[in-house]
Copies of this chain bind each other. A is one copy, B any other.
């Protein structure tokens, strides 16, 4: 009888929870990654309205073949309360973007934004250890990137955010993760820096601005932009024109998916 081959009664369910939901890319990308690895699993979009979240979530977690959830806007902060235990990154950052059902039945949370960035560098054979890193933007993704980069033990991690309090908070966290790393909070600077990372929204969509005031970058520099759309941000355009090595938001996304599926698969 005619039937699809990617779904059956034994399929384990995963979901991405957001409001709105139509723009998410996880269903096609994470499902692909899971099925490539031989998991009988799909990740479906779950449109839970913000006003329904607190009541729907506890019941959704009781669906017995649901093994994991990814959270997107506006639920990244709220999701934390549904984790009964946190992974190392989530403990440091104080936020999660994924929940996995532990084999013992409880839900554990982790955040993969930073791990995805580090994974992208690893995939490209670009070391962060002992490097001098400038990170711009310390919002949700930026703070997670700071924690994950800190765990790689760079020589210097220079931090900038428009919000000073946030910068100091992230600096303190980085110092506790990697005491040997020199941590500086200062205006963005590309002198004596090996790796420039943008995790601010400057350059997103049709924003033609650069996230820092430069006209030139040293060719030896590795330049990363967390922005996914457009693929070629103004910063990456300048970096390529200057002969720099560039690492794109899409590579971080791919890295994040790989690490997330590792996490989901390990619990299964």
Structural contact, A9 and B32, CB atoms closer than 8 A: no
The answer to whether the Cβ of A173 comes within 8 Å of any Cβ in the partner chain is no
The total of chain A residues at the interface (CB under 8 A) is 47
What are the residues of chain B within 8 A of A124 when measuring CB–CB? none
Q: How many monomers of this protein are in the complex?
A: 2
Q: Known contacts A21-B65, A44-B44; decide if A27 and B52 are in contact (CB<8 Å).
A: no
Q: How far is the CB of A29 from chain B (nearest CB, A)?
A: 5
What are the residues of chain B within 8 A of A209 when measuring CB–CB? none
What are the residues of chain B within 8 A of A6 when measuring CB–CB? 4, 6
What are the residues of chain B within 8 A of A181 when measuring CB–CB? none
When chains A and B are docked, how far (Å) is the Cα of A9 from the Cα of B15? 11
The answer to whether the Cβ of A11 comes within 8 Å of any Cβ in the partner chain is yes
A11 CB contact (under 8 Å) in B8, B23, B44, B60: B44
When chains A and B are docked, how far (Å) is the Cα of A21 from the Cα of B48? 24
Structural contact, A27 and B8, CB atoms closer than 8 A: yes
What are the residues of chain B within 8 A of A59 when measuring CB–CB? 52, 55-56, 58-60
When chains A and B are docked, how far (Å) is the Cα of A137 from the Cα of B49? 45
Within 8 A of B (CB), among A244-262: 250, 254
Interface string of A42-67 (1 = CB under 8 A from B): 11111111001001101110111100
When chains A and B are docked, how far (Å) is the Cα of A32 from the Cα of B6? 10
Q: Known contacts A47-B64, A63-B47, A64-B49; decide if A28 and B8 are in contact (CB<8 Å).
A: yes
Within 8 A of B (CB), among A105-164: none
When chains A and B are docked, how far (Å) is the Cα of A47 from the Cα of B49? 23
Q: Known contacts A4-B35, A52-B62, A60-B63; decide if A44 and B13 are in contact (CB<8 Å).
A: yes
Structural contact, A42 and B7, CB atoms closer than 8 A: yes
The answer to whether the Cβ of A3 comes within 8 Å of any Cβ in the partner chain is yes
A32 CB contact (under 8 Å) in B2, B19, B48: B2
What are the residues of chain B within 8 A of A43 when measuring CB–CB? 7
Q: How far is the CB of A36 from chain B (nearest CB, A)?
A: 8
What are 7 A-B residue pairs whose CB atoms fall within 8 Å in the complex? A2-B29, A4-B32, A5-B28, A8-B45, A9-B22, A10-B45, A49-B64
The 9 closest A-B pairs by CB, nearest first: A59-B59, A3-B28, A47-B64, A47-B65, A9-B24, A7-B27, A56-B59, A9-B22, A4-B32
> Beyond A4-B35, A8-B27, A56-B60: 10 further Cβ-contacts under 8 Å?
A1-B250, A3-B29, A3-B32, A4-B27, A4-B31, A9-B26, A21-B65, A48-B63, A49-B62, A56-B62
